[in-house]
Homo-oligomer: A and B are copies of this chain.
């Protein structure tokens, strides 16, 4: 594992990026996209573990999935964003494409068993319909199933995982893009303890915040008006329960920032008409 390329140019051996899953997971691919090829990885067993790693300074960065275009938001991570109070410092989207991976020497006609996470297996139904002789075997993790091949070297085994997983464990991609629906993306946030700009010369393009309204008629309308009246485009709104206040809600919003002054006015306006607002971060998405 090599070091992170930090945009400031300084080098720091403690600059790890925490993420959930095995090396080769889609979060690993997202970390590479945002932080560069030399990301120093800290794989974690759970999302809570990812947040705890950043809190304890075991990692300098965290990469978390926040929503998938087929399955929806990762609500656990929305809750942790507020609980831990870290800063959203970056964003990227990864197309979820599933590769059929074997260890070198195993040919396609040898493959009788395919290991992967149940969600990934389920997203490749057409492949299994067309190859009735191949058995789909549920495993705890996509990248972990390639790791299994590396450890056990089965002569008839393959895995479904990302191209990054193939590269991480020295696998060979036998078939590309097995997924039934190509329009499958996961959006990730880069989190840091303090604000961090990947490209400070050009300023942020996007911001995220969370607000709470009282349970009164028109409360959400007035809050959203703060953005709409300034032609600010909300790209996402997600409601979560306000714990301890039944039937009141927190709203997490992401919005595009084309003019920072106008965004500041919207924020000031929002504070007037809600009883809780917290800016979660301003950042430039990595395409």
CB of A24, distance to nearest CB on chain B (Å): 24
Instruction: Provide the bound-state CA to CA distance between A240 and B68, in Å.
Output: 10
Chain B residues near A216: list those with CB within 8 A: 233
Q: Are A247 and B69 in contact (CB under 8 A)?
A: yes
Picked from B234, B244, B247, the residue with its CB within 8 Å of the CB of A235 is B247
Picked from B71, B233, B237, B240, the residue with its CB within 8 Å of the CB of A241 is B71
Instruction: Provide the bound-state CA to CA distance between A222 and B249, in Å.
Output: 21
CB of A119, distance to nearest CB on chain B (Å): 13
Instruction: Provide the bound-state CA to CA distance between A222 and B231, in Å.
Output: 12
Q: Are A240 and B185 in contact (CB under 8 A)?
A: no
User: Does A174 reach chain B (CB closer than 8 Å)?
Assistant: no
Q: Are B243 and A217 in contact (CB under 8 A)?
A: no
Chain B residues near A240: list those with CB within 8 A: 72
Q: Are A221 and B217 in contact (CB under 8 A)?
A: no
Chain B residues near A234: list those with CB within 8 A: 217, 220
Chain B residues near A249: list those with CB within 8 A: 236-237
User: Does A137 reach chain B (CB closer than 8 Å)?
Assistant: no
List the 9 closest A-B pairs by CB distance, nearest first: A221-B228, A69-B246, A217-B233, A218-B228, A221-B224, A72-B241, A185-B246, A69-B241, A183-B246
Query: What are 9 of the A-B contact pairs (CB < 8 Å)?
Result: A69-B246, A71-B241, A75-B75, A217-B231, A218-B228, A220-B237, A221-B225, A221-B227, A236-B247
